[in-house]
């Protein structure tokens, strides 16, 4: 917008840009909203089945916030959170979006780079918030790559994918949810170019990607909630240190008390099968595979 031969009005016309939006500066979230969002995130991490009205009741009765459901709806949308429940006509999908079948049901995952999984989560900070995406090797729980972003566009997901492919080669299967970041053409095209089979969770089925969902709990309760990072730079440094610890030092009961790095690069003796039902999931005894159905913290 520095061309002196064209007026601002003409430049906006050429770009099909509303002139008023040129001068708009995004307003930061106020402190009360940030506090409410952090409370929402904690409860949603414990129980992703909380919808807007139940979350509103929780914030009023348990957290002491004077909020209504309209405000909670706005903040949950901003955070990219949606309650898990059976919606009517879930089989009807937008024909303009690329949707692929779920390939992991009854699949025996027994080697590294057989299945990669990824997702996005909201991370609160002392001032503001960001989004985190991670690519995880399903067999070993090894963190392959990660990125943070202040917006929910697809760019940071693609950057994480490129890094993982460059460092570790291509997996046999990539599993994601049906979010727009993973149904967009750049994501699909990159996986197809690498010869990766594409798998997507069923609509509203968070159990289909359970290990990533469980990983979010681990990251938040073992690092993010404890440290309350002040800035994005501090958050990046903290996550880098935590993921190094997670990969190289943190022992996993589900991996026979080995680290993800040991399992990723050497393999384990006994393969496991992907969990297919809530009953199976609730009956497992491995702390890395349990997602709690009430408000009890592990």
Digit-coded pLDDT (tens) for 194-206:
999 999 976 545 5
Cα angle for residues 241, 244, 247 (degrees, 5° grid)? 150
Q: What is residue 179's predicted lDDT score, i.e. its pLDDT?
A: 84
Ramachandran angles phi, psi of 269, nearest 5°: -75, -40
Q: What is residue 13's predicted lDDT score, i.e. its pLDDT?
A: 73
Pairing mode of beta strands 173-176, 272-273 = unpaired
Q: How far is CA 148 from each of CA 67, 117, 184, 277, 288, rounded to the nearest angstrom?
A: 29, 17, 19, 31, 23
Of 212, 174, 168, residue with least CA distance to 190:
174
Q: What is residue 261's predicted lDDT score, i.e. its pLDDT?
A: 95
- The rounded distance, in Å, linking the Cα atoms of 298 and 295 is 9
Ramachandran angles phi, psi of 273, nearest 5°: -105, 150
Q: How far is CA 239 from each of CA 148, 175, 247, rounded to the nearest angstrom?
A: 10, 23, 12
Q: What is residue 90's predicted lDDT score, i.e. its pLDDT?
A: 30
pTM of the prediction?
A: 0.67
Pairing mode of beta strands 143-149, 108-109 = unpaired
Q: What is residue 26's predicted lDDT score, i.e. its pLDDT?
A: 59
Q: Which residues of the chain register pLDDT less than 50?
A: 1, 86-94, 204, 268-298
Interior/surface letters 148-173, b for 16+ CB within 10 angstroms, e for the rest: bbeebebebbbebbeebbeebeebeb
């Amino acid at each position: 917008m520095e061309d002196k031969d064209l007026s601002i009005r003409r430049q906006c016309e050429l770009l099909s840009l509303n002139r008023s939006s040129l001068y708009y500066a995004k307003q930061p979230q106020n402190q009360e909203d940030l506090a409410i969002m952090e409370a929402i995130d904690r409860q949603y991490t414990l129980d992703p089945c909380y919808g807007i009205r139940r979350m509103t009741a929780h914030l009023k009765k348990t957290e002491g916030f004077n909020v209504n459901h309209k405000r909670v709806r706005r903040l949950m949308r901003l955070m990219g959170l949606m309650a898990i429940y059976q919606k009517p006509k879930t089989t009807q999908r937008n024909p303009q979006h690329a949707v692929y079948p779920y390939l992991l049901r009854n699949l025996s995952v027994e080697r590294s780079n057989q299945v990669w999984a990824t997702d996005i989560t909201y991370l609160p900070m002392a001032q503001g918030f960001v989004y985190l995406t991670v690519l995880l090797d399903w067999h070993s729980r090894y963190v392959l790559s990660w990125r943070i972003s202040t917006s929910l566009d697809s760019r940071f997901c693609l950057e994480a994918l490129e890094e993982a492919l460059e460092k570790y080669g291509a997996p046999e299967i990539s599993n994601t949810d049906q979010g727009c970041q993973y149904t967009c053409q750049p994501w699909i095209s990159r996986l197809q170019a690498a010869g990766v089979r594409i798998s997507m969770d069923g609509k509203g089925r968070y159990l289909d990607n359970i290990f990533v969902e469980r990983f979010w709990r681990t990251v938040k309760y073992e690092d993010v909630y404890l440290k309350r990072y002040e800035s994005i730079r501090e958050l990046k440094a903290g996550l880098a240190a935590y993921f190094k610890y997670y990969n190289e030092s943190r022992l996993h009961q589900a991996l026979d008390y080995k680290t993800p790095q040991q399992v990723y690069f050497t393999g384990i003796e006994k393969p496991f099968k992907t969990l297919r039902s809530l009953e199976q999931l609730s009956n497992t005894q491995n702390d890395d595979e349990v997602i709690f159905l009430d408000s009890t913290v592990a």
